[in-house]
Amino acid sequence: MTGAVMTGVKWKMLTLLVSEGSRVIVALVLARLLTPADYGVAGMAIVTTSFVVLFTDPALGTALVQRKEITELDRSTIFWATVAIGVLATIGGIALSGVVADIFNTPAVAPLFAVTSLSFLFNSLAVAPVSLLTRKLAYRSLQIREIMATVAGAAAALTVAIAGFGPWAIVANWVTFSAVSTVLVWILSEWRPHFMFSGDSLRQLGGFGAKVFGARTMMWANINIDNVLVGRFLGATALGSYSLAYNVMFLPMARISVPLTQVVSPAFARLQEERERLERAWLRSKRLSTALLIPSFLVVMVTAPDLVDVVFGSKWHAAILPLQLLCVAGIATALVALNFSIVQACGEGNALVRLNTIVSIVTISAFVLGLRYGIVGVAAFYAVAKWLLVLVDTRITTKAVSFGFWPALRAGTGTLPIGAAAAAAGYGFRMALVSEGVPAIVRLFGVSLAMLILYIALVAVFAPSVAGEVKELIRARRARRDPAFAAS
């Protein structure tokens, strides 16, 4: 299994290089061609679509991955159940597109949401084969699919944006990615469904899946309800600026934490009976994850004024302060990023629901309280809420899986003081460059590079164990083994 996990990491890195290159190009072009209002209108459609997508796989795919043994009856049952849900969701989405537009008081949302509803069917068709490939740790196939679908979506978005269709560019990206990734997963998967269905199988798999689905739904609310509230009460332009800030902030999570989670989650599930090995693997994963995420968020936070101006243009100035505040929230999120994975891998569905209920209540309350102060208030209250939840999240997680609380907390926060020191130095350096009249683009690259070099040097001196684990990971890659995720 360790070799498979290492292969997964390798393919994730390749995916990042190819997919993120195309996504960066698309983001830059769209930011220049679209207005904040365009982003906001498309965001209203996309955030609603992302909610309905949850129902196209009510965690039945996760149950296929987590369950120790499955039969062909289980596989085919999940396929036909999710496809049925996808068909109903697509029909319902098209029929209710006008209602969605009314919720946001923006008529232009209706046709956008009607088209994105097609992704419900595409996604439902992919649930079973993706889950089975994940269960087999077939990372090569999964990443080839993601790379090609991302490039296809990028090409569609650029074509539509250059043609002058505004928010439709974002919709084209979303729908094209869904369609192409679904076609590719069937090409790459050897499994084909049989014409069989079992209510008993659905109930058995759905028992665990229902709890995970409830947790996922609340996680969606934690991540997306701010967009719903901003769009509904502050309007499309405000949502456009806030969405840009959030998307930039979320880049480190999407490019580091999410791929890592996708790789280690099935591996954690395989180790669920070997608790000591599992705990060591989880703690090591947390240390490596936060060691990469913390400096990423801090660099974005310090350089945000130059980053927004140089990369996106002056019309996005309103996104700067929300971006900096959201990076503060991002650091707190990084500290608990792998908690969900370990609880899910251990099959602790009740703990998932309990944890996400608490997180949802606190997070949504923060969004509501912050609305009166605009998008800056929403970002600020969110940052406070995320930091308040770090201890709670860690406590519930470690109790559910019977791991130590303090080792888990130390694994997440070990490099935080080092990152703070690098950020303070970077801020001072940037202010000195501003006073000297150095151009923004020079400040952006100069400060980013200086912060990263300083951070690496400080980690080598004050956190040699983390530096050693990174070196071990590199050596393991060459030796085709994986000490980062396997027991030492």
Give whichever of 29-33, 210-214, 271-275 has the largest mean pLDDT.
29-33
Question: Which pLDDT belongs to residue 485?
Answer: 40
Is 207 inside any structural domain?
no
Residue 205 domain flag: no
Checking if the pLDDT of 471 tops 70, the result is: no
CA distance linking residue 323 with residue 300, whole number of Å: 8
Average pLDDT, the chain: 86
**Predicted local distance difference test score (pLDDT) of residue 17:** 57
In a domain, 425, yes or no: yes
Residues 200-222 have a mean pLDDT of 75
In a domain, 221, yes or no: no
| Higher-scoring residue by pLDDT: 198, 214 | 198
For residue 5, the model assigns a pLDDT of 47
Judge if 296 and 418 occupy the same domain.
yes
For residues 262 and 180, membership in a common domain is answered with no
* Residue-level pLDDT at 474: 53
For residue range 318-370, what is the model confidence (pLDDT) as tens digits? 999 999 999 999 999 999 988 888 887 787 778 877 888 899 899 999 999 99
Cβ burial of 88 (10 Å; 0-12, 13-18, 19+) is: middle
> Which is it for the CA torsion 65, 68, 73, 74, positive or negative?
negative
Q: 334 and 282: one domain?
A: yes
Report how many domains make up the chain.
Answer: 2
Residue 248 and residue 193 share a domain: no
Does residue 479 fall inside a structural domain? yes
247 HSE (CA, 13 A, CB side): 19
* pLDDT tens sequence across 87-96: 999 999 999 9
113, 253: one domain: no
pLDDT digits (tens, 9 = 90+) for 125-150: 998 998 888 887 766 777 788 888 98
Among 242-256, 379-393, 426-440, 458-472, name the one with the lowest average pLDDT: 458-472
Residue 193 CA from chain centroid, whole number: 30
Minimum mean pLDDT range among 247-261, 368-382, 438-452, 473-487: 473-487
Q: Are residues 279 and 382 in the same domain?
A: yes
Residue 149 shares a structural domain with residue 267: no
Distances (CA, A) of 131 to 57, 134, 408: 11, 5, 29
Q: Helix (H, G, I), strand (E, B), or coil: what is residue 49?
A: helix
279 shares its domain with 385: yes
- pLDDT (0 to 100) of residue 262: 64
Q: Count the neighbouring beta carbons within 10 Å of the beta carbon of residue 439.
A: 10
Percent with pLDDT over 90 in the chain: 56
What pLDDT score does 4 carry? Answer: 47
Asked if residue 420 and residue 292 are part of one domain, the reply reads: yes
Residue 281 banded pLDDT, cuts 50, 70, 90: confident
pLDDT tens digit string along 224-234?
Answer: 899 999 999 99
**Whole-number Å distance between alpha carbons of 236 and 303:** 26
114 SS3 class: helix
Q: In the prediction, which pLDDT does 259 show?
A: 65
* Mean pLDDT of the region 230-250: 94
145-160 average pLDDT score:
91
Split at pLDDT 50, 70, 90, the class of 208 is low
Q: Which of 251-260, 264-273, 302-311 has the highest mean pLDDT?
A: 302-311
Residue 88 belongs to a domain? yes
Would you place residue 480 in the very low, low, confident or very high pLDDT band (cuts 50, 70, 90)?
very low
Domain hosting 167: range is 1-197
pLDDT of residue 394: 94
pTM of the model: 0.80
What is the mean predicted confidence (pLDDT) over 63-80?
A: 84
206 lies in some domain:
no
Q: Tell me whether residue 161 is in a domain.
A: yes
pLDDT at 2 over 80: no
> Mean of the pLDDT values across residues 283-287?
88
